[in-house]
Structure 1
Amino acid sequence: MIITIGNSKGGVGKSTIACNLASMAAKENKKVLLVDADPQASSLNFRSIREADDIKATAITTPTLHKDLKEFTNFDLIIIDSGGRDSVIFRSSILAADILIIPVLPSVYDIWATSDTLEIVQEAKIFNEKLITRFLLNMVMANTIMAREALQALEEKKEIPILKSQLGARSSFKNGIISGQGVIEHAPKSKAASELAACYHEIMQLGDF
């Protein structure tokens, strides 16, 4: 199964989410390939400092990504960390996916900015009819007016459902990345780890995996 973490808007936490999901899958003994399709190479940097050899990683920043991935047949799960702007590489990463997760910050402005991504998704579905797409609210400050307004604004975009799971605005997510660990390893008993686990399992169920 191939999962792409993508949004044409930058700064929404794509790399942090991709690396944390890969760590969670590795913990469950899945053969995981982390594909860095972003020239910034954040996911590759994460892999380079990770001590455990349970996640393989490669960079593919070409518009043929969706074709090139067909050669990687020895993995249970491939997670693509796509770039933060509309490009042929970004579109190729969507064409490659079985599941597209679109991280969105809990801001009405950020949600308005998803319109470009939605247009790209609709175009991609012409070629990838079975594509499953979900919004993921990220960096949420629970029980705030901003979070509630953001959720309401996102629900109005009826083309794409929202994951029930949300990821909070918690430093644990990023602190683990610095040491090459997912939050499930860095702070396994934390609220962040619980949120990540819930998000991971909800996504896996989408693909009946």
Structure 2
Amino acid sequence: MITVIANLKGGTGKSTVTFNLAIWLQSMGRRVTAIDLDPQQTLADAAALRIEEGVAPALLVEAGAFPDVDFPGDAEEIIIDVGTADLESFKQAIMIADRILVPVTPSQADIWSTQRFVEFLSRNTHGNPPESITFINRADTSRTIHATDEAAAALDALPGLRLIPQRLSNRSVFRDSFSEGLAVFELEPRSIATREFTELAEALYGPGNRSLLARVQKQKISTLVDPAQRLALAAPAEKLAVHGRVSSERLTAAIVAPAAEA
């Protein structure tokens, strides 16, 4: 299945969602190909950092632009991260997608942008767009703030989109894990963020093998951190420590295909 993670508006967390979904699928034993069509290549950078840090499984990302990217024939799942800076690749990705996943942050500007995106999809697929699924990303964590529920209601009213109830809250662990080349469930396996992400992933791809994922998480805890950090990671979620590995330099050039010349 080809899933395109897309939105006309930047800053909605597309690359972070793509990265976490790809690692989750790999941890479930699925053959995954991740493709980065955004000229910023944020997804490719995170994958390169993961390789540099020696984290398994490595995520190899095809990066560039259509038609230069390679689609391996043995992939069970293909996940494509697209950005509007390369509009032609954006359009071509939509044309080949089996479905489109649209992360939306809870703001009026994002709702307007999503409405325009639905119209964009219809225009560029001859009125026959693929299944389009949306969810709230970076939801407010305070129950006294109603912007998230209001945004969800607005999305639910948009024709051409299917809103799923699973949400990812605006939690720093999503940023912290991504900046270390880790999925959120690898950095803080017992956190609320991991629970939210797992619910989202299972809503999109079906129930995962949680016992297998638990073994993967346990292995990472035992091999990636020192004993003191291992104890911290085994503690309750609110006491989890963020282990601070800092990359000296990225190895992007070693695994990322050159972008197509303009």
Verify: 1:132 aligned to 2:131, yes or no.
yes
* Structure-2 residue corresponding to 1:72: 72
**Per-residue CA shift, 1:35-88, capped at 9, x if unaligned?**
0000000011011011224422111313x37xx65x421111111111145711
CA contact (8 A) 2:134 2:163 kept: yes
For the residue of structure 2 that corresponds to 1:139, the secondary structure is: strand
* Structure-2 residue corresponding to 1:59: 63
* Structure-2 residue corresponding to 1:22: 22
Deviation at 1:93, TM superposition (A): 1.4
Per the alignment, do residues 85 and 106 of structure 1 end up closer, same or farther by CA in structure 2, a change over 3 Å counting?
farther
For the residue of structure 1 that corresponds to 2:166, the secondary structure is: coil
* Structure-2 residue corresponding to 1:103: 103
Per the alignment, do residues 86 and 179 of structure 1 end up closer, same or farther by CA in structure 2, a change over 3 Å counting?
closer
Q: Which runs of 5+ in 2 are unaligned?
A: 207-262
Aligned residue pairs total 200
Letter in 2 for 1:58: E
Q: C-alpha separation between the residues in 2 aligned to 1:147 and 1:130?
A: 26
CA contact (8 A) 1:136 1:163 kept: yes
Identity %: 28
Q: Which runs of 5+ in 1 are unaligned?
A: none
CA contact (8 A) 2:105 2:136 kept: yes
* Structure-2 residue corresponding to 1:4: 4
Q: C-alpha separation between the residues in 1 aligned to 2:176 and 2:83?
A: 22
* Structure-2 residue corresponding to 1:88: 88
* Structure-1 residue corresponding to 2:184: 183
CA contact (8 A) 2:133 2:163 kept: yes
Deviation at 1:201, TM superposition (A): 1.1
* Structure-1 residue corresponding to 2:226: none
**Per-residue CA shift, 1:129-188, capped at 9, x if unaligned?**
572111121000143211121112212213211012111001111111111110011111
CA contact (8 A) 1:108 1:153 kept: no
Q: C-alpha separation between the residues in 2 aligned to 1:107 and 1:86?
A: 25
Q: C-alpha separation between the residues in 1 aligned to 2:43 and 2:121?
A: 23
CA contact (8 A) 1:11 1:84 kept: no
Pairing of 1:127-206 with structure 2 (within 5 A): 129=128, 131-142=130-141, 143=143, 144-205=145-206
CA contact (8 A) 2:136 2:148 kept: no
The Cα RMSD (Å) is 1.9
Deviation at 1:19, TM superposition (A): 0.5
Letter in 2 for 1:39: P
Per the alignment, do residues 86 and 49 of structure 1 end up closer, same or farther by CA in structure 2, a change over 3 Å counting?
closer
Letter in 1 for 2:131: I
